[in-house]
Structure 1
């Protein structure tokens, strides 16, 4: 495979693993129990944030693909960035926003209509 295919496969693998750890319960609720055990402190906030998880999952891929230190760092950040773009494109992080709707009251005639 060429480096482009390795790069694309690394992005997809990073997205999949980061999504599993941050947003899914996993088989037999194993990942859910892991997040629950991590709690709401430092480790819990790291594992529940897709962007944080993608940084750490992308690191081995960047180290594997790069030959120099600069290449390893660039690939690391690029793979994480690609996974973050996929995360945004899949709409997993969209929160429903409720916009209040107000209607002006119309003037009524003497019959209340």
Structure 2
């Protein structure tokens, strides 16, 4: 349960559109179009010092995963009943997103 909950919380922070408001003060997305008409999106970290450090942190899946795990485990240690509910919801969502990814890849390969 911890693994799936941490996976989902990490993806929520680093990638999901719903949390872009959290990332906006620290990140800027630059979209460039190449010669073939393909668009590429680049992430630019804003600011210096603490702002830049936090921007780097929430742009790194591995870094955010460590902190997400620590927050979930620490919260569960302090408030097990509340955090268990939160983690169950995140774990179910995490498992569902993994299944959805697998199903989409199967459909794309048909």
Structure 1 length as normaliser, TM-score? 0.40
Pick the structure with more strand per residue: 2
Higher relative CO (Cα under 8 Å, sequence separation at least 6) belongs to: 2
Structure 2 length as normaliser, TM-score? 0.41
Structure (1 or 2) with the larger CA radius of gyration: 1
